[in-house]
């Protein structure tokens, strides 16, 4: 009975967190949807933070355990892994971790997206403490495949990669339906991931563009001030001055 209650709470929490976000989902929402009382969550998890951590552990712990074993195996064989190889290892570990869930990849990717949007510092601290060392090892190996790239450029490209993967796979079912409607084909999740690996690896390898070191838009030049005035056009009211660097930036 206790195991079924825990599973029902976790299943419900996963669905609500993926749908509404970590910040917008209350314990009351979970208790009502799972048809349990608050005492059940306190008894089995202790707190809302602990429940969120249990949701993260449900996927990330088996995923990271498999990824670590795979990296160890390749290190022991002294085999050289390409960017594509590393991405394939990560995806294989993720697919293994989510295979028992009804919505699988889509649900996990939506959780990842919601974690990015969350302002929950406790969640970030937990993820960094629990899984940071392994992902640090993984990212180090990836960065070694692009030694010409600066740390800041690599940082941004990693986030571009995550965003691309989340957007592509969080709604795989919907995108697959559109593909079938427009083109008569229907790519499976493994096929989409194979395409994604090639795309992400190419993006990470691309030569840094020096234009990115310059402001994207020079507002004073693009929107000249009227003679005798010091205001931007009304359409630009309230927009930040994009010619200014953020705090800590270098000129």
| Digitized pLDDT (tens) for each residue of the chain, 251 residues in all | 566 899 999 999 999 999 999 999 999 999 999 999 999 999 999 999 999 999 999 999 999 999 999 999 998 887 789 999 999 999 999 989 988 775 678 889 999 999 988 888 999 999 999 999 999 999 999 999 999 899 999 999 999 999 999 988 888 888 889 999 999 998 888 888 889 999 999 999 998 765 454 444 444 444 444 444 444 444 444 444 443 444 444 43
Are the C-beta atoms of 12 and 30 separated by less than 8 Å?
yes
Rounded distance, CA 75 to CA 25, Å?
42
Distances (CA, A) of 219 to 167, 233, 244: 31, 10, 10
Residue 42: burial class (beta carbons within 10 Å; 0-12, 13-18, 19+): middle
Model pTM score? 0.77
- Lookup: tokens for 41: 């969550």
CATH topology of domain 57-205: Tetracycline Repressor; domain 2 (1.10.357)
**Secondary element (H or E) of residue 225:** none
Any idea where the domains of the chain sit in the sequence?
A: 57-205
Q: Calculate the dihedral angle through the C-alpha atoms of 87, 88, 94, 100, rounding to the nearest 10 degrees.
A: 160
Smallest CA-to-CA distance from 111 within 128, 94, 88 is with: 94
């Amino acid at each position: 009975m206790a195991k079924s209650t825990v599973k029902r709470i976790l299943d419900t929490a996963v669905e609500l967190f993926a749908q509404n976000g970590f910040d917008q989902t209350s314990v009351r929402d979970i208790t009502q949807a799972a048809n349990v009382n608050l005492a059940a969550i306190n008894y089995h998890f202790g707190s809302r933070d602990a429940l969120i951590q249990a949701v993260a552990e449900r996927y990330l712990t088996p995923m990271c355990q498999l990824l670590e074993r795979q990296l160890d195996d390749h290190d022991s064989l002294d085999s050289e892994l390409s960017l594509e190889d590393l991405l394939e290892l990560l995806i294989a570990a993720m697919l293994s971790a989510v295979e028992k869930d009804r919505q699988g990849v889509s649900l996990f990717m939506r959780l990842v997206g919601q974690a990015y949007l969350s302002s929950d510092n406790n969640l970030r601290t937990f993820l960094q403490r629990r899984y940071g060392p392994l992902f640090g090892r993984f990212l180090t190996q990836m960065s070694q495949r692009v030694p010409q790239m600066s740390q800041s450029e690599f940082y941004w490209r990693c986030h571009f990669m995550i965003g691309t993967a989340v957007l592509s796979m969080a709604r795989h079912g919907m995108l697959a339906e559109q593909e079938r409607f427009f083109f008569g084909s229907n790519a499976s999740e493994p096929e989409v991931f194979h395409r994604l690996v090639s795309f992400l690896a190419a993006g990470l390898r691309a030569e840094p563009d020096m234009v990115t070191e310059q402001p994207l838009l020079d507002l004073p030049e693009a929107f000249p001030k009227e003679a005798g005035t010091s205001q931007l056009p009304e359409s630009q009211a309230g927009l930040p001055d994009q010619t200014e660097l953020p705090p800590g930036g270098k000129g």
